[in-house]
Amino acid sequence: MFRFFESRVDPFVDHPQNDTPPQRLLPFMLQYVGPFRRLFVIAALLSVVVAGVELGLIWAMGWIVDILSGDPAQVWADHGAALIWLALAILLLRPVVQALDVLVLNNAILPNFGTLVRWRAHRHVLRQSVGWFEDDFAGRIANRIMQTPSSAGEAVFQIFDALSYAVAYAIGALLLLGRADPWLMLPLVGWLVLYGLLMRWTVRRIGPASKAASDARSEVTGRVVDSYTNIHSVKMFAHHDRELDYAREAMSRTRVTFQREMRLFTIMDVTLVLLNGLLIVGVVGLAVAFWMTGSATVGVVAAATALTLRLNAMTGWLMWALTSFFRELGVVAEGMETIAQPVTLTDAPDAQPLELREGRIELKGLMHHYGREAGGLDGIDLAIAPGEKVGLIGRSGAGKSTLVKLLLRFYDAESGHILIDGQDISRVTQDSLRLAIGMVQQDSALLHRSVRDNILYGRPDATEEQMIAAARQAQAHEFILDLEDPQGRRGYDAHVGERGVKLSGGQRQRVTLARVILKDAPILLLDEATSALDSEVEAAIQDTLYGMMEGKTVIAIAHRLSTIARMDRILVLDQGRIVEEGTHDALLSVSGLYAQFWKRQSGGFLDIDPEIDTDAAE
């Protein structure tokens, strides 16, 4: 039975992806409603039926009070069959209706709606550019991805569990009192008006207060995750207390915003008690007055009393449900600051897969400053022949990493073009572009998965033998066999920890190399590929690297100039421009920047010229 209701909607159903999600709350929520429309209609109808059953029960209790005033035997003779049917309805019909209501809401809608929102939100965020992720805390992004769907689901729950039920109940209560005596409707109408004003006052304040509290909670999450992610730096610099102060500052702001939110609930609760007192006195008092004048039966008084007591019990729950509804909408609004951001780096409408024929790379007037006045690249023109190996050096901030990021299309260049085999990379699909490029980064972070998963990330369809061969080439196979994680998984099944923290820097680098070797892409980018290796392992890896380069177009960024001395051509970048290029010997002969860097690294001389007194590293 549960499985039947749980399978009514597939939360992972294919859907058209929208690069520019709605920026307003209601359209944002409605974009997820499509697969649930029929269930929402059923849930609303069931809420009305449940409210009707509850009101019918109250009416029945009043009817029973009225008929009990006669002789018991005569009462049973006249009404016995009706009493039996009423008992059967209470024992059988009422549970069935309630069961259907909660099955649709709790099993068909809630688990699937939250999952659908979370899946689509994650899918949208994962399409954002690298630059987009660099502008925010990973912890805050993840918090919003996890928090927003839960709040959206809770808002939907309150609509059908509380709001639609309450509206149906209020209308039914008016009809029930009007049927007994139209004058009994007046106290309830007056109470509904005052209750509506209280709700309006509360709702107008609770939304902004909830959003502020949610913003503050996300900031706390971001700061705490930032500390945990960089725990090595925290411990290395003995900044335990500094990190506590950093988190405490955000937690204090969260506390203040939560206090303001709770003040609203306190005011609401106290006012609600006063209003409910007016409801009880007004309706029950008027019903008793009518009974005293003979215009109302004892059953009417009993039904009016039961109704008002039920409304009294409901109002606190309803007000809490309503404020919870708007509080959750406030959380959704805060999450929209991440989830509803447009994807700006997209494939062109007519983008085609990259057709890699030779591996020729051309940069034409390439300029990118990250929206600033300085930094990045400043008008680069460059042609790299198929199979050519190019070394890239320069001071920190010279533009080396920017060039690589633009080639991978992590950013779109502010002006100029990058062509691969004559195809502008802005006109091909991003996936096909990146599949054609192998990249070994200086920061050799790994996924918190097994060693096998990390190596196969380069080519998921590779065989076990191909994976192990790649690990052997990267001088990684031997140490991998000795690995064991805290759960007892060994060798290639051992998990490496977040960002690969269970491994040494050299081990991480070799696993990264194995991944790129397995990918075997025709274009190879090396960003300090051997920076984390000791001299002995580096010497062994160097032969592997040059073997990897055979038949590929290569761009290698290097700090250690000896690692690129054998390249076909070396480019020296300075302030975003190519200032020198040539072979190692040719550049040494002109006594320029390259010669200065080489002299500094190989001869041990300290160059005091302020124009070049800086590391060659970026």
pLDDT score of 363: 94
CB atoms within 10 A of CB 82: 13
What is the Cβ-side half-sphere exposure of residue 515, based on CA atoms within 13 angstroms? 27
**Do residues 160 and 44 make contact, with C-beta atoms less than 8 angstroms apart?**
yes
Dihedral sign computed on CA atoms, order 138, 142, 148, 149:
positive
Q: Which residue from 46, 35, 217 is spatially nearest to 115, judged by alpha carbons?
A: 35
Specify whether the CB–CB gap between 33 and 109 falls below 8 A: no
Q: Find out if CATH 3.40.50.150 is the number for domain 2-339.
A: no
Token duo for residue 90: 């209470």
Longest dimension (CA), the chain: 123
10-residue mean pLDDT profile of the chain (618 residues): values are 88 86 88 90 88 79 74 78 86 89 90 91 89 80 86 85 76 76 80 81 78 81 82 79 87 88 82 81 81 78 78 72 77 86 89 92 91 78 93 85 90 92 94 91 81 92 94 90 90 84 80 90 84 62 76 85 84 90 90 85 43 38
User: Is the distance from CB of 547 to CB of 561 less than 8 angstroms?
Assistant: no
**pLDDT given for residue 615 in this prediction:** 39
- Dihedral in degrees, nearest 10, Cα atoms 451, 452, 455, 456: -150
Residues 184 and 285 sit within 8 Å (Cβ to Cβ): no
Domains 2-339 and 437-520 alike in fold: no
- Locate 311 and state its tokens: 């409304």
Residue whose token pair is 């007037």: 365
Number of H helices, E strands in the chain: 22, 10
User: Domain residues of the chain, as ranges?
Assistant: 2-339, 351-435+555-618, 437-520
Alpha helices for 163-184 (secondary structure H): 164-180
The topology (CATH level 3) of 351-435+555-618 is: Rossmann fold (3.40.50)
- At residue 385, the pLDDT reads 94
- Helix, strand or coil, per DSSP, at residue 119: helix
Owner of token pair 């080639």:
407
Encoded amino acid at 362, one letter: E
d(CA 446, CA 508): 7
The pLDDT, as a whole number, for residue 382 is 93
Q: Residue 240, class by beta-carbon neighbours within 10 Å (0-12 exposed, 13-18 middle, 19+ buried)? A: exposed
CATH tag for 437-520 (out of 3.40.50.300, 3.40.50.620, 3.30.70.270, 3.30.1330.10):
3.40.50.300
Claim: this prediction has a pTM higher than 0.85: no
